[in-house]
Amino acid sequence: MEKHDSGFDEASYDDKAIHFSHTVIRFCVKILAILMMLLIIWGVLDVVYVMYMKLSSLPYFLLSISDILAVFSAFLAVLIAIEIFINIVMYLRDDVIHVNLVIATALMAIARKVIVLDFTKLAPEYI
């Protein structure tokens, strides 16, 4: 894939303020990547905890539909966080936003919302 020219290569900085701004923004994006990594680890631990709690409660090793949806929701939330992390890493690597990856992430988030909808708890106006 050809790299998009964003106009922010090091040689084209005439203004020190723009160079500083770009450096600060890239630093902030790196911080976001680290925070997203921590969130993914936290999410995986939450999935393990939710599965353990659901499987260890009476009746043992039996999940109801709402239990399955709770575990499924936690799984999908972690997968969406991973997709967002990949978006951040791709931005740091290429300095361009990959539209197809962003659309795939958005579609996964929409699918998660539709999959975990509980029609017994939602009012018709919400939908």
CA 19 – CA 79 distance, rounded (Å): 35
Q: What residue ranges do the domains of the chain occupy? A: 16-115
Cis, bond preceding 59 (omega within 30 deg of 0): yes
CA 55 – CA 49 distance, rounded (Å): 10
The CA-atom distances, in angstroms, between 122 and each of 68, 72, 73, 75, 111 are: 18, 18, 16, 22, 17
pLDDT tens sequence across 89-118: 888 887 677 788 888 888 988 888 887 777
pLDDT tens sequence across 14-64: 788 888 998 999 899 899 999 999 999 999 999 999 889 888 888 888 888
8-state DSSP, 50: H
